Structure 1
Amino acid sequence: MGIGKMKKHREMLQHSVLRGHLPETLWFTHARALRMLRSYSTIFIKPNHGSGGNGIIRVNRVRNGYEVRCGLRRTRVGSASLSKAIQSYMRPSGQYLVQRGLRLAQYNGSIFDARIYMQKPNKRWEISGMAARVAAPRRFVTNYHKGGHGVQLNRVLSRLFADRRKVNHTLNKITTISHNMARTINKRHAIRELGVDLGIEKNGRIWIIEANSRPGHKLFTQLPDKTSLRRIMKNKRLMRRRLMN
C-alpha cells in the first residue's frame, strides 16, 4: 500500500514554502464536512489510500441544498439528508479526508491540472515530464483512468495567460514546488518517483492537489512530443539496473 494522503499532507505542512500551497485538509467527519461547507462552496471527500480518482466525492452548495457527486452519479439533497447522501457513496471500510474545493482554470471548457513526473535516478531529483491533465466532459477529476487526456503544459498555460512572462513565472513556481515536494517526502520515505499534481486557478495561484508515490506514465503517451516519455522510461530502466546491482 502506498503512503497515505494525510501522512504526505502533514509532512508537507512542515515545509515553509509548501504550506501556503496546501488547501485545508482534515480527517473526514460529517461535522467537519458541514463546517467546511460553510466556508467553501465546494468540498472534496477522498479516500486516504486511493488512486486514479477512484472514490472521490464532490459536494457543492446549490440553491436550497447540496449536490453530491461520485463519478457520474449525483444526488441533490437538503441539509437534513446530506450526511446520509455522502455516506451512501463511501466505502464501508477505509479512512477519508475532507478538503476544500479549488476553482481550477479551464482549457477548452474543461478543468485541468498539472502533472509533474519527478524521478531520482541518481542522487538528485529531476523533472522527467510536465503535462496538463484535461478532464473529460462533465467530469470533476482529471485522472487518465477517468477519461482525462494529456496536453503540453506550456500550450495550456499560454492559452490561460496572454503574457509570456506570466507563463514562465508559473512554470518556475511549479518547478520549485515540485522539487520541494519530492525532497520533503523523500526525507521520511524511500521513494525514487513522485507524481506531483498541482491545481492552477485563473489568477495563477497554484495549489497542491496530490503527491502520488506510485505515479503512472500513461498520460505522457498521449503527448505528440515523446521526449518526456522517453526520459521517464530511460530513468526507470536506470533505476531498475541500480536495484539489481
Structure 2
Amino acid sequence: MKKRKTLRHVTSKWAKTKVLLKSRTMRTYIPETRRMSRQSLQEMLQLYGMVYIKPNSGTYGNGVIKVESGSSGYSFHAGTKVRSFGEYDEMYESLSKFVKSRSYLVQKGIHLLKYKERRFDLRVMVQKNTSDRWECTGIIGRVAAEGKAVTNVHNGGKLVSVERLLSGYASSARQSSLVRRLRRIGVTAATKIHARYPGIKEIGLDVALDGGLHPWILEANTRPDPFIFRKLKDRRIFSRIYRYAKAYGRL
C-alpha cells in the first residue's frame, strides 16, 4: 500500500478542490472549477458569463483575473486595469500573455457582496487545537482595494469584522446563524483535506457570500496568515490562534 505524504503545506489548488468535491456535503459549497484551457474558459464563460482564473499554485491573490463575456464582447480585469475585446480568440491571446506557461484554473464567478461599494469575502481560520481536534478559531472579512477584483490584504485589501460587513444584509439572528454555519463548513473542510493530507495542522478558507448569503468556498489555504486576526477588537481570537499555531510548530 502506497504511503501518503505527510505534507504540512499543499500548494496545488486543484488537488485541494478535488478532495472537497468528493464530499457530497462540501460539493454544495464549491463553485464549478476546471483546469483552464482555451476551450474550458470559453465553455465556462458561455455557462456563467463571469469567471475567475487563478494560478494552480500561488498566494496573496497574485495572478487572479476576472474574465467576463457579454453582448458587446469579452473583457478581463487584471490588477486595476480592464481590457475589452470584440472576439474571444483576441481576448484569449491577450490573456495568454498574463498566464504564460503557468497552470491555471477557471472557476465560476460569484458576484460578491459589497461594503461601501467594494467587494468582500471572508477568511475562515481552522486549526488543530491543543487537544488535536479541529476548531474554527476565527472569521474575518476582507474588502477589496478600489479598482481591484481580488480582496487579499497583500493586494491592498482591508480587514473588517464580519459583523460590520453583514450588518446591511442580515439581522443579528441571521448573522449568528450564518457564522455557525461557516464554522461547521470550516471544520468539515479541514477534516476532509486532513484525511487526504494528514500532515496539515491549519487551513484558511476563502469564502464568498452571494446575494442569498449562500457560502461558496473559493479556495482552501494550508498556510494561512494568522496575523490578520490581530485587526479584530476581540484580542482573545488572535491570542487563541497564536497559541495553537505555536503549539503545532507553525510559529
The TM-score, its normalising length taken from structure 1, stands at 0.92
The list of structure 1 runs, each at least 4 consecutive aligned residues, that deviate by more than 2 angstroms after superposition, is 221-227
Aligned Cα root-mean-square deviation (Å):
1.7
**In the alignment, which residue of structure 2 is the partner of 1:204?**
213
Structure 1 residues 8-17 or 79-88, which shifts more?
Answer: 79-88
The one of 43, 55, 65 aligned to 2:51: 43
Structure 1 residues 226-235 or 179-188, which shifts more?
Answer: 226-235
**In the alignment, which residue of structure 2 is the partner of 1:30?**
38
When residues 71 and 4 of structure 1 are mapped into structure 2, their CA distance, relative to the original with a 3 A threshold, is same
The one of 82, 96, 107 aligned to 1:87: 96
Contact 2:11 2:58 in 1 (8 A): no
Letter of the 1:106 counterpart: K
The one of 15, 19, 36 aligned to 1:11: 19
Letter of the 2:219 counterpart: E
Contact 1:130 1:228 in 2 (8 A): no
Q: C-alpha separation between the residues in 1 aligned to 2:182 and 2:137?
A: 13
Structure 1 residues 14-23 or 56-65, which shifts more?
Answer: 56-65
Alignment of 1:76-225 (within 5 A): 76-79=84-87, 80-92=89-101, 94-121=102-129, 122-161=131-170, 163-189=171-197, 190-225=199-234
Query: How big is each residue's C-alpha offset from its partner over 1:19-61, in whole Å with a ceiling of 9 and x where there is no partner?
Result: 0111000010111111111111211111000110001121112
Letter of the 1:203 counterpart: G
1:175 Cα deviation after fit: 1.2
Letter of the 1:38 counterpart: Q
Q: C-alpha separation between the residues in 2 aligned to 1:222 and 1:139?
A: 22
Letter of the 1:133 counterpart: R
Contact 1:68 1:85 in 2 (8 A): no
Q: C-alpha separation between the residues in 2 aligned to 1:229 and 1:175?
A: 16
Give the 3-state SS of the residue equivalent to 2:249 in structure 1.
Answer: helix
Is 1:236 aligned with 2:245?
yes
Give 5+ residue unaligned stretches, structure 2: 1-8
Q: C-alpha separation between the residues in 2 aligned to 1:175 and 1:75?
A: 38
Q: C-alpha separation between the residues in 1 aligned to 2:76 and 2:166?
A: 30
Instruction: State, as a whole percentage, how many aligned pairs show the same letter.
Output: 32
Q: How many residues are matched?
A: 240
Contact 2:78 2:149 in 1 (8 A): no
1:62 Cα deviation after fit: 4.1
Contact 2:77 2:149 in 1 (8 A): no
Q: C-alpha separation between the residues in 2 aligned to 1:227 and 1:61?
A: 45
Letter of the 2:72 counterpart: N
Give the 3-state SS of the residue equivalent to 1:159 in structure 2.
Answer: coil
The one of 20, 23, 26 aligned to 2:28: 20
Letter of the 2:168 counterpart: R
**In the alignment, which residue of structure 1 is the partner of 2:4?**
none
